[in-house]
Amino acid sequence: MLEQKKAYKTPVEDLGEFALIEQLTKSVIATLPSTLHGIGDDAAVLKHEGELVVSTDMLIEGVHFDLGYMPLKHLGYKAVVVNLSDIYAMGAQATQVLVSIAVSNRFTLEAMEEIYAGIHLACKTYGVDLVGGDTTSSKQGIQLSVTALGIAPKSGPIMRSGAKEKDLLVVTGDLGAAYMGLQVLARENEVFKVNPNHKADLDPYTYLVERQLKPEARKDIIALFQALEVTPTSMIDISDGLSSEVLHLCKQSEVGCRLYEEKIPLDPQFIAVCEEFNVDSTTLALSGGEDYELLFTIKQADFQKIKANPNMTVIGHITDKSDSVNLITRGDELIPIKAQGWKAF
């Protein structure tokens, strides 16, 4: 977990927009040669060679996060990380981010500094430059929008549409933990509302809670592709749950697939908590979301290169479009996969 500091006293309305921006961005130093001019002018100036990939995401209080259990520093960190995940899902190297933020007047400078501490930490961790953004007020709550830029590999960006029949379907990390982390936090939050003296014991849930509050993007996997000399034929990041992402990938590639229940990588802590909550682990691994792992396909000939890697698990293979998208259960039943991903609407 990231450490927190607590004395929130200066309302943002006492500072005004320019002083606030100054305060939040004064420590920012551009580190990449591709950042010619960062924060401070009407626009940033960048110089990139090759194909640029760009992605943006919004986080709305009450829709995407709840400040009841999302510490501000984690919010800033996560806002950057989820955007970087989209850049890595193109096989690209993330380079710069822009952060736009709207907050109500009830917010304090110290609270904003917490969010920015998380943003700066994420930028440092992933080696990206914060090169601009916008700051404005909202009638209610916080809205955060992050735009991330990156450079595609020389061989081109890895699209969702490149999967071919007989390719292997591979996933990184393990699935479902972030969702169960949220369930644990929501349960503790309910108990706390009834009994404010309640001291949460999150020890048995540290991995799950960390996956929810401090997700990481798989920058390491992009480096691993290079080291292993593997170029995925298609790729997508798993933000909305395995089932919706595999459906996106198959739809855009115009293929079907078979995904084997017994192959889905699950953490032992996730399995234990599913038992405690009396929920089906496969269902949650398929539909949970927020794992920010990568789902990709490779040529069968590349299997030897990845098979010994603990970060990657082959979970199925691509079939003809007429086969549609199916889960093969442990009991050897074939079940069509339907999207159950988290919906904003």
- List interacting residues with Mg ion (CB under 5 A): 134
- Which one, 22 or 276, has the nearer CB to ligand ADP? 22
**Distance in Å, CB of 64 to ligand ADP, minimum:** 18
Please calculate the CA angle 341-75-117 and round it to the nearest 5 degrees: 155
Interaction of residue 135 with ligand ADP, rule CB under 6 A: yes
Please calculate the CA angle 340-164-244 and round it to the nearest 5 degrees: 10
Which amino acid is it at 223?
A
Contacted by 150, from ligand ADP, Mg ion, none: CB < 5 to 8 Å by type: none
- Which one, 3 or 42, has the nearer CB to ligand ADP? 42
Contacted by 42, from ligand ADP, Mg ion, none: CB < 5 to 8 Å by type: ligand ADP
Q: How does DSSP assign 84-135, residue by residue?
A: HHHHHTTTPEEEEEEEEEEE-TT-BHHHHHHHHHHHHHHHHHHT-EEEEEEE
Burial of 121 (0-12, 13-18, 19+ CB in 10 A): middle
* Residue 330 structure tokens: 């442990």
Distances (CA, A) of 159 to 153, 213, 296: 12, 28, 10
211: nearest Cα among 131, 127, 269, 263? 269
Contacted by 327, from Mg ion, ligand ADP, none: CB < 5 to 8 Å by type: none
Q: Which of residues 83-112 bind ligand ADP (CB under 6 A)?
A: 99, 101
**Distance in Å, CB of 116 to ligand ADP, minimum:** 8
34: nearest Cα among 54, 22, 50, 21? 50
Identify the three-state secondary structure at position 182: helix
**Distance in Å, CB of 160 to ligand ADP, minimum:** 30
* Residues in contact with ligand ADP, shown as a per-residue x/- string from 14 to 53 under the rule CB under 6 A: -------x---x-------------xxxx-----------
Which amino acid is it at 239?
S
Contacted by 145, from ligand ADP, Mg ion, none: CB < 5 to 8 Å by type: none
Interaction of residue 132 with ligand ADP, rule CB under 6 A: yes
- Which one, 44 or 159, has the nearer CB to ligand ADP? 44
**Distance in Å, CB of 130 to ligand ADP, minimum:** 6
**Distance in Å, CB of 119 to ligand ADP, minimum:** 8
Write out the residues near ligand ADP by the rule CB under 6 A: 21, 25, 39-42, 99, 101, 130, 132-135
